[in-house]
Amino acid sequence: MRHYEERGNVAQTCRHFGISRPTFYSWKKNCEKLGNDGLINHKPCPENPRLRVDSVVAEKIVHRRTTYHRGPVRIGWFRPRYHPELKGSKSGAYRVLRRRGLNRRPRNAKLRTLQTQRYEKQVQGHPIQVDVKFLTLKDPAGASIRRFQYTAIDDATRIRALRIYDRHNQATAIEFIDFVIERFPLSVSTRCGRTTATNSKPSFTGTSRI
């Protein structure tokens, strides 16, 4: 603005600073309206404090990040499972980490090892594969309800046990494993189980009673 006031030539000022005419006139309009404060960069819309993550949730997100090096997606999985009373989302976790400068993993953080080779040792009860499928059902009134289908399959014999719970937490997981050990007609190695979780739609093909 001082360069333009000294020379009085818009084209020369734009060429000198490498800006376009619309940008210059936008800055000039803001300067005339608000003074020097109008030249400060502002967000296109004011921030809505109601959309910001609660401070309690933000502290838990930072704790999971700094202690366990979890990313926004895994932090988003952790919150509804262990703290269902707290509101938040994966995108909210990312924004919290970005404001704190924690959106990038440390360079010395180890990557999680993925198992790519299938276990092929055909021994009964070693291992037992445990799957958890999230079901969205309808009650008699037509409202949606969430259920969790636990399935245990022996890799060697393909014997299967299945139960459906209304909660998905550590207590139900322990109860289901005890049920499998009790009902399976074979020796189960409890230290060699593999667990997976899916969020696909259910497909009812019948169940095996053990």
> What's the pLDDT tens digit per position in 90-130?
888 888 888 888 888 777 767 666 655 655 656 665 677 88
Residue 113 has a pLDDT of: 65
32-69 residue pLDDT tens: 888 887 777 766 666 677 777 788 888 888 888 888 88
As a whole number of angstroms, the distance between CA 158 and CA 128 comes to 9
122-161 residue pLDDT tens: 666 567 788 899 988 888 888 999 999 999 888 777 788 8
Percent of the chain at pLDDT > 90 equals: 14
What per-residue string of b and e applies to 92-131 under the rule 16 or more CB within 10 Å gives b? Answer: bbbbbbeeeebeeeeeeeeeeeeeeeeeeeeebbbbbebb
Query: Any bridge partners for residue 144, and if so which?
Result: 138
CB contact at 8 A, 131 and 195: yes
The DSSP secondary-structure symbol of 141 reads T
SS3 126: strand
